[in-house]
């Protein structure tokens, strides 16, 4: 994970290094010793892409973007069985679904559940290299989201159209009048009503959101925590609400190990990690998603623009060879609000266990 060095073999960690930091180097510059089998049509992960054509390409339209993962779908989930409960996954930005809940989504789709993906923003304020920033990054990330959703067997994908609030010293711009606000500025009820309308239309039994910390603290992720809780209240049929999260102590341990490998100037300040994600005992559900490693990897590979613009979680994780990938990403964690602290050995293993 150190720019300019070979990737260490056998050293795999699960952590989220998504915060922009000045002075970071692009993972796209690192030599890649592992061919990426999930995107054969591209000959490997897409690196810097100059000359990206601007223009809108929302979901449901022909995309000008070559999206190898959309053409070569690694799994073919069955058509949803209407007798099985429907699950709605609410996320802040394109790529969050790949990082946090992709295995759960693919597992449910493979079992015949109808899986719906709601993403509040197009992720246009996220990190990317200069060539991408000069183009319509939101349109590109929306197209990437469609490819990821296809890889996971998602039946319906909606982008709600709020502006990406950005993170760190350069927050996303305030949209001009007549446009939806930044997600972090939007009234919780305004967004929650829209989410609840989808829950009602889908008669959804499950809604996922984020933990109270918003994972690593992105303001849009904190907003999704509040919006998810409110939408679950507003829905005609109250869904089981699960907050996607991760065990904080494991992340801290992994990040501490990675930090030791990095030159001092690249080390991550672990202070904010002390309150990121969730305490281990607050996690109520752990989902074994080892059987969906290919789908998860394809979903990550679909978000090619996320591999630019700095040390990015996706840029690093996509380079993990497949056998290790299933091991490193073999679990996804959730917290159901209102349930008492739980012994890790007694966690629920199915998202519908408390239905």
Q: Does 7 bind Zn ion (CB under 5 A)?
A: no
Q: Does 92 bind Zn ion (CB under 5 A)?
A: yes
Radius of gyration of the chain (CA): 19
Q: Does 163 bind Zn ion (CB under 5 A)?
A: no
Q: Does 182 bind Zn ion (CB under 5 A)?
A: no
3-state secondary structure 308-348: CCCCCHHHHHCCCCHHHHHHHCCEEEEECCCCCCCCHHHCE
Q: Does 312 bind Zn ion (CB under 5 A)?
A: no
Q: How far is the CB of 166 from Zn ion (least distance, A)?
A: 11
Size of the site for Zn ion (CB under 5 A): 3
Q: For residues 93 and 248, which CB has a smaller minimum distance to Zn ion in the complex?
A: 93
Q: For residues 96 and 282, which CB has a smaller minimum distance to Zn ion in the complex?
A: 96
Q: Does 150 bind Zn ion (CB under 5 A)?
A: no
Q: Does 211 bind Zn ion (CB under 5 A)?
A: no
Q: Which of 16, 93, 194, 342 binds Zn ion (CB under 5 A)?
A: 93
From residue 47, alpha-carbon distances to 7, 55, 98, 175, 197 in Å are 17, 21, 19, 30, 39
Q: Does 96 bind Zn ion (CB under 5 A)?
A: yes
Q: How far is the CB of 312 from Zn ion (least distance, A)?
A: 12
Cβ 166 vs Cβ 202: under 8 Å: no
Give the binding range for Zn ion (CB under 5 A) out of 41-49, 92-100, 195-203, 262-270.
92-100
* Angle at which helices 293-302 and 102-110 cross, to 10°: 120
What backbone torsions phi and psi does residue 116 show, to the nearest 5 degrees?
Answer: -115, 135
Q: Does 268 bind Zn ion (CB under 5 A)?
A: no
Give the binding range for Zn ion (CB under 5 A) out of 90-98, 226-234, 248-256, 308-316.
90-98
Give the binding range for Zn ion (CB under 5 A) out of 53-61, 91-99, 158-166, 268-276.
91-99
Residues 6+ apart with CB under 8 A from 337: 229, 241, 243
Cβ 148 vs Cβ 159: under 8 Å: no
Residues near Zn ion, by CB under 5 A: 92-93, 96
């Amino acid at each position: 994970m150190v720019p300019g060095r070979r990737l260490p073999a056998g050293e795999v960690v699960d952590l989220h290094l998504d915060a922009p930091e000045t002075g970071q180097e692009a993972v796209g510059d690192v030599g890649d010793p592992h061919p990426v089998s999930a995107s054969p049509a591209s000959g490997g992960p897409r690196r810097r892409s100059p000359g990206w054509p601007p223009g809108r390409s929302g979901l449901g339209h022909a995309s000008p973007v070559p999206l190898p993962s959309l053409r070569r779908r690694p799994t073919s989930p069955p058509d949803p069985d209407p007798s099985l409960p429907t699950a709605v996954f609410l996320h802040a930005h394109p790529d969050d679904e790949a990082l946090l809940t992709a295995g759960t989504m693919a597992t449910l789709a493979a079992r015949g559940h109808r899986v719906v993906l709601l993403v509040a923003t197009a992720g246009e304020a996220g990190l990317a290299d200069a060539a991408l920033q000069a183009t319509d990054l939101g349109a590109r990330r929306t197209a990437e989201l469609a490819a990821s959703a296809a890889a996971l067997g998602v039946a319906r994908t909606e982008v709600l159209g709020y502006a990406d609030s950005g993170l760190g010293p350069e927050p996303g711009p305030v949209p001009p009048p007549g446009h939806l606000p930044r997600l972090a500025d939007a009234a919780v009820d305004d967004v929650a009503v829209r989410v609840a309308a989808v829950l009602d239309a889908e008669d959804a039994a499950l809604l996922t959101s984020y933990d109270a910390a918003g994972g690593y603290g992105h303001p849009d992720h904190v907003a999704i925590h509040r919006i998810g809780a409110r939408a679950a209240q507003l829905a005609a049929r109250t869904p089981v609400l699960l907050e996607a999260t991760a065990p904080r102590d494991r992340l801290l341990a992994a990040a501490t190990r990675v930090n030791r490998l990095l030159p001092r100037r690249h080390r991550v300040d672990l202070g904010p990690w002390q309150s990121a994600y969730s305490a281990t005992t607050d996690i109520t559900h752990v989902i074994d998603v080892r059987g969906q490693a290919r789908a998860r990897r394809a979903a990550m590979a679909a978000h090619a623009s996320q591999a630019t613009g700095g040390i990015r979680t996706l840029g690093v994780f996509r380079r993990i060879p497949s056998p290790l990938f299933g091991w490193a990403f073999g679990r996804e964690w959730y917290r159901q609000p209102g349930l008492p602290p739980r012994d890790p050995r007694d966690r629920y293993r199915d998202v519908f266990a408390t239905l």
